[in-house]
């Protein structure tokens, strides 16, 4: 018998809020976090918009000496993880550190540090490279800092599968607890890639929206006039805990993480399979793993990137998996408001699923004004709705054909 796993804590820092409460309020109110890029001068780029963390000051969260040793992607991770740990009531130390782990997701990692040190290397010579370059830049270091700060000595590593990273991290954490490798795992995703190199790279791929004159409408998933995704940044973390362990310490239970499915397209380095077959398999695997049937699913938080190929392919994958039932399921895209947080995207979307189960509110997909005829499902357009949600899916896809889906359900004793 696999052990049951519940969500007992959540935290986030996003372009629409510095904590989970503010982020969730913004999402249900349809607030966009997209605007002109301020992190660097983008005037010489075709893309001049992004979803940045607003008014962020490292000194509000870290002392100056510590902040200098942390890439901003690690800072975001630590802030979101702190909130999740506090929310779960773990600050009291009522857990075994050796049975408590950290599994993070990051699609890129410390790219700002990488850029800065590369410039330094080529202008001043390699002897001027910071001794903190490697430990600031590597993709696993956020997991290390979270474990050090909270004395979490269990399983500890990072998953890197592009924009599917956080779902793979959450799914791996689920398995680790189910099969007894840990009792608690702090898991989620983090990213801080609104930098010249990253934005320039995605621009060269023609993956980003160029709707510079109207940033807040640039991310428009499933809309006929969508022209690319919007770069974003931030972090979101959940505390996953074995059910009996959570009950024994009197933890609040938001929802149950019930199923996980993952697949590969084996098709193309960036484009999804046109018929969405790979994603449909991951969705079906997650539903089966949860012990559910397609008709049990009430709500799907779609990958919904606002790119021409993804939205069409994802819609087809949902129809393949659910058949006619797909037309009866409420679907939305968190990215319509927060942009694409890359390796952190699936984590904030998993939180949206848990919050919808908790509150009975499904946030809207904004900017869907002219529906694409090929995207003809119910995307919860314009305004939030009240609806009881008993079972939700968070669906995520990554460059390289990486598909991942998780099922979150209402906790029933």
CA distance 401 to 393: 19
Q: Is there a contact between 103 and 81 (Cβ–Cβ < 8 Å)?
A: no
b/e code 267-296 from CB counts within 10 Å (16+ = b): eeeeebbeebbbbbbbbbbbbebbebebee
CA distance 355 to 389: 10
**Surface-to-core class of residue 55, CB atoms within 10 Å of its CB (0-12 exposed, 13-18 middle, 19+ buried):** exposed
Q: Is there a contact between 67 and 75 (Cβ–Cβ < 8 Å)?
A: yes
Clarify whether 303 is annotated catalytic. Answer: yes
CA distance 10 to 12: 7
CA distance 345 to 233: 9
The kind and range of the H/E element at 283 are: helix 277-289
H runs (alpha helix) in 63-195 = 64-67, 72-87, 111-124, 133-137, 141-150, 165-178
What are the phi and psi torsion angles at 387 (to 5°)? Answer: -160, 135
What are the phi and psi torsion angles at 233 (to 5°)? Answer: -155, 165
Q: Is there a contact between 286 and 164 (Cβ–Cβ < 8 Å)?
A: no
Q: What is the CA radius of gyration of the chain?
A: 20
Q: Is there a contact between 379 and 332 (Cβ–Cβ < 8 Å)?
A: yes
SS3 for 268? coil
Q: Is there a contact between 52 and 194 (Cβ–Cβ < 8 Å)?
A: yes
Clarify whether 18 is annotated catalytic. Answer: no
DSSP 8-state class, residue 4: P
Structural tokens at position 290: 């949860």
CA distance 136 to 132: 6
Clarify whether 268 is annotated catalytic. Answer: no
Q: ∠ CA(170), CA(407), CA(304), 5° rounding?
A: 85
Please pick, among 168, 340, 363, 402, the residue that the annotation labels catalytic.
340
Please pick, among 150, 245, 303, 402, the residue that the annotation labels catalytic.
303
Please pick, among 163, 321, 353, 375, the residue that the annotation labels catalytic.
163
**Which sequence positions are flagged as catalytic?**
163, 303, 340
């Amino acid at each position: 018998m696999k052990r049951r796993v519940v969500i007992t804590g959540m935290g986030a820092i996003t372009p629409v809020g510095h904590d989970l409460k503010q982020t969730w309020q913004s999402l249900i109110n349809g607030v966009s976090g997209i605007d002109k890029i301020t992190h660097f001068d983008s005037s010489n780029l075709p893309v001049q918009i992004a979803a940045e963390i607003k008014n962020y000051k490292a000194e509000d969260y870290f002392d100056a000496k510590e902040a200098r040793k942390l890439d901003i992607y690690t800072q975001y991770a630590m802030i979101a993880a702190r909130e999740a740990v506090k929310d779960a009531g773990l600050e009291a130390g009522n857990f075994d550190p050796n049975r408590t782990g950290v599994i993070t997701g990051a699609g890129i990692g410390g790219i700002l540090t990488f850029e800065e040190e590369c410039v330094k290397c080529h202008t001043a010579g390699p002897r001027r490279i910071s001794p903190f370059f490697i430990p600031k830049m590597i993709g696993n270091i956020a997991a290390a800092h979270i474990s050090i700060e909270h004395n979490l000595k269990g399983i500890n590593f990072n998953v890197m599968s592009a924009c599917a990273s956080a779902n793979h991290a959450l799914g791996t954490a689920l398995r680790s607890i189910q099969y007894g490798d840990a009792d608690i795992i702090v898991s989620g995703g983090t990213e801080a890639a609104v930098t010249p190199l990253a934005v320039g790279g995605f621009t060269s791929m023609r993956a980003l929206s160029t709707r510079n004159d109207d940033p807040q409408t640039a991310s428009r998933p499933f809309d006929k006039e969508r022209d690319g995704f919007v770069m974003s940044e931030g972090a979101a973390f959940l505390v996953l805990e074995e059910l009996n362990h959570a009950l024994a310490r009197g933890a609040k239970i938001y929802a149950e993480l019930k199923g996980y499915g993952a697949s590969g397209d084996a098709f193309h380095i960036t484009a999804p399979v046109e018929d969405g077959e790979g994603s449909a398999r991951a969705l079906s695997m997650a539903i089966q793993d949860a012990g559910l049937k397609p008709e049990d699913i009430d709500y799907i938080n779609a990958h919904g990137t606002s790119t021409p190929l993804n939205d069409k392919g994802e819609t087809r994958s949902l129809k393949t998996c659910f058949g006619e039932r797909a037309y009866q399921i409420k679907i939305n895209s968190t990215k319509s408001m927060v942009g694409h947080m890359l390796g952190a995207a699936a984590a904030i979307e998993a939180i949206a699923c848990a919050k919808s189960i908790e509150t009975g509110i499904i946030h809207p997909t904004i900017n869907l004004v002219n529906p694409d005829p090929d995207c003809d499902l119910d995307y919860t357009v314009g305004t939030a709705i009240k609806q009881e949600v008993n079972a939700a899916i968070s669906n995520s896809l990554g460059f390289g054909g990486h598909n991942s889906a998780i099922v979150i359900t209402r906790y029933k004793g």
